[in-house]
Amino acid sequence: MVKPTSVLIIAPPGRLRDSLRVLLYAVGVVRVSEADAFAAGLDTLTRTGSELVVLDPGASMDEVTPMIQKLRRAGAAGCLVWTPTAGQVRLARRAGIDIALLPGLSAEALTVILDQVAQQYRNCPGVTP
């Protein structure tokens, strides 16, 4: 199993962010960084070089596309977004998100997702997470 060693969570302080942090540590992620908002998240990403970004955009999916483009330019290999409804998954995909996370995600499912995304980017020539 390939696990990412570092993940950046961009989400407002609260239960979702706290739960994601606990789950990430539980599945073996070594370093979890956090940012309250997108602009701070970009700065944190450039400082930490996190392999994956989990984003709770707090915005419409139309507004997420430029966010994802900026995250990619700043070095994010994989981008996961927290979507409150299954209807937003398609919009998240169009925005360039690798995986859309939905409410009710289990720790086991998160482990599988993290492994798949980490493996995908480690096998991609020219990408150094």
Q: How far apart are CA 82 and CA 5, in angstroms?
A: 20
At 2 the pLDDT is 52
> Residue 106 domain-assigned?
yes
Q: How confident is the model at residue 127 (pLDDT cuts 50, 70, 90)?
A: very low
50 or 35, which is more confident? 35
> Residue 62 domain-assigned?
no
Per DSSP, the three-state class of 126 is coil
pLDDT tens digit sequence for 73-121: 777 778 888 887 777 888 888 777 888 888 887 878 877 887 777 666 5
- SS3 per-residue string spanning 9-62: EECCCCHHHHHHHHHHHHCCCCEEEEECCHHHHHHHHHHHCCCEEEECCCCCHH
Range of the domain at 14: 6-29+38-57+68-122
Q: How confident is the model at residue 33 (pLDDT cuts 50, 70, 90)?
A: very high
pTM of the model: 0.78
Q: How far apart are CA 40 and CA 4, in angstroms?
A: 22
> Residue 82 domain-assigned?
yes
At 125 the pLDDT is 40
> Residue 83 domain-assigned?
yes
* Burial (CB count <10 Å: 0-12, 13-18, 19+), residue 47: exposed
Question: 86: domain CATH number?
Answer: 3.40.50.2300
> Residue 63 domain-assigned?
no
Instruction: Provide the number of structural domains found in the chain.
Output: 1
At 129 the pLDDT is 36
pLDDT tens digit sequence for 41-53: 888 988 888 888 8
> Residue 47 domain-assigned?
yes
